[in-house]
């Protein structure tokens, strides 16, 4: 393609980008398409590795798919309920802080606890949702809501600006929501850094999340993903997001004075896609942990998820039992 042709394509991409971002709520986390992509990746991985866990998840969702319910949590965080993927959900305004964890980029956190008062942050909520899903004494609707939250929050946690903020003059910028972004050639001031990132994956496959999911799944197959689901990977995901915001996103914003051109998208797309890949892989592991039963195919995954007991004693007990059983079988 000629340089002019390439420029035209890129400016089209930026315009699509601006349009989508201006017509969205800036504080929702990945756009619906981003969340749907995470749900699709997780479902495909489960279908291949543990179809029993996927079937259990879809039964809980009344036949809806992980993709369909992935955006639902954003529809109930304010004052009204919603019909989402055929499921009637009540308003859950208390869930508003559960979509993020604000860690100031001036900090170098050893523990995430100080940033998660009362367990009201995305990290603790993901662990709580896994516990609720595992809890056979919980009601159907409690477990259904826990799964709807889990699918969404794992996606949110991988959006870097859901795990970082900057304190300016003693006030938070709310993960870049208070940082205006100016596109070269655009006079609009309505776009902000957080909204830009919510939609950063969209120009590539804006009409079809399944195309993007298939592409990312091919990429996942080429990667060594064992470390993605080892140890306390739920906390690790938030730390990774924080570090990307601190090392890449905020310094670049400061250097450019908030001015964005087409090359920004080129540079950041790979980073954003890797976040979606990790979210999909980790979501599948968590669902398998909670709903996968105790078949041999899930035992390794359960053991790998042993970082969870910090947030889930029930899971810890089950992982311990699986590990003991596996050790016994080998004798």
Q: Which residues bind Zn ion (CB under 5 A)?
A: 29, 74, 99, 156
Select 153 or 233, whichever has its Cβ closest to Zn ion: 153
Cβ 9 vs Cβ 204: under 8 Å: no
In 158-249, which residue ranges form alpha helices assigned H by DSSP? 193-198, 209-222, 233-244
Q: Which run of H or E residues covers position 183?
A: strand 182-183
Select 77 or 301, whichever has its Cβ closest to Zn ion: 77
Select 35 or 179, whichever has its Cβ closest to Zn ion: 35
Burial class (CB in 10 A: 0-12, 13-18, 19+), 23: exposed
Rounded CA-CA distance 119/235 in Å is 13
- CB 295 to Zn ion: min, Å: 32
Select 77 or 318, whichever has its Cβ closest to Zn ion: 77
- Encoded tokens for 299: 């035992």
Burial class (CB in 10 A: 0-12, 13-18, 19+), 16: middle
- CB 291 to Zn ion: min, Å: 22
Select 155 or 307, whichever has its Cβ closest to Zn ion: 155
Q: Which run of H or E residues covers position 84?
A: strand 82-84
- CB 86 to Zn ion: min, Å: 20
- CB 304 to Zn ion: min, Å: 26
Rounded CA-CA distance 311/103 in Å is 19
Which residue shows structure tokens 């890129």?
A: 10
Question: Positive or negative, the Cα torsion across 118, 124, 126, 132?
Answer: negative
- CB 162 to Zn ion: min, Å: 8
Q: Which run of H or E residues covers position 259?
A: strand 259-260
- CB 88 to Zn ion: min, Å: 20
- CB 159 to Zn ion: min, Å: 8
Select 56 or 151, whichever has its Cβ closest to Zn ion: 151
Rounded CA-CA distance 267/204 in Å is 13
User: DSSP labels for 166-182?
Assistant: -EETTEE-TTTTT-B-E
Select 13 or 32, whichever has its Cβ closest to Zn ion: 32
């Amino acid at each position: 393609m000629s340089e002019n042709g390439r420029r035209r394509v890129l400016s089209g991409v930026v315009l699509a980008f601006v349009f989508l971002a201006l017509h969205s709520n800036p504080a929702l986390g990945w756009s619906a398409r981003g969340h749907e992509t995470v749900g699709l990746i997780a479902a495909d991985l489960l279908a291949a590795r543990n179809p029993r866990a996927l079937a259990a998840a879809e039964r809980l969702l009344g036949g809806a798919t992980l993709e369909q319910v992935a955006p639902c949590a954003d529809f109930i965080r304010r004052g009204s309920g919603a019909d989402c993927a055929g499921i009637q959900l009540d308003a859950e305004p208390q869930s508003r802080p559960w979509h993020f964890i604000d860690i100031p980029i001036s900090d170098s956190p050893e523990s995430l606890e100080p940033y998660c008062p009362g367990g009201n942050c995305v990290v603790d909520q993901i662990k709580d949702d896994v516990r609720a899903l595992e809890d056979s004494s919980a009601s159907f609707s409690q477990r259904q809501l826990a799964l709807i939250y889990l699918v969404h929050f794992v996606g949110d946690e991988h959006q870097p600006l859901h795990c970082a903020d900057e304190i300016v003059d003693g006030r938070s910028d709310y993960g870049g929501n208070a940082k205006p972004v100016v596109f070269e050639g655009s006079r609009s001031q309505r776009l902000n850094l957080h909204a830009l990132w919510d939609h950063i994956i969209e120009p590539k496959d804006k009409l079809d999340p399944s195309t993007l999911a298939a592409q990312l799944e091919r990429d996942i197959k080429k990667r060594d993903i064992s470390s993605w689901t080892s140890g306390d990977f739920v906390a690790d995901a938030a730390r990774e997001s924080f570090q990307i915001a601190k090392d890449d996103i905020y310094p670049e914003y400061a250097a450019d004075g908030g001015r964005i051109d087409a090359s920004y998208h080129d540079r950041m797309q790979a980073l954003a896609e890797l976040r979606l890949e990790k979210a999909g892989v980790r979501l599948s592991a968590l669902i398998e942990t909670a709903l996968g039963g105790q078949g041999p195919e899930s035992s390794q995954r359960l053991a790998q998820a042993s970082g969870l007991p910090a947030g889930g004693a029930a899971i810890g007990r089950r992982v311990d039992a699986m590990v003991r059983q596996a050790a016994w079988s080998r004798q």
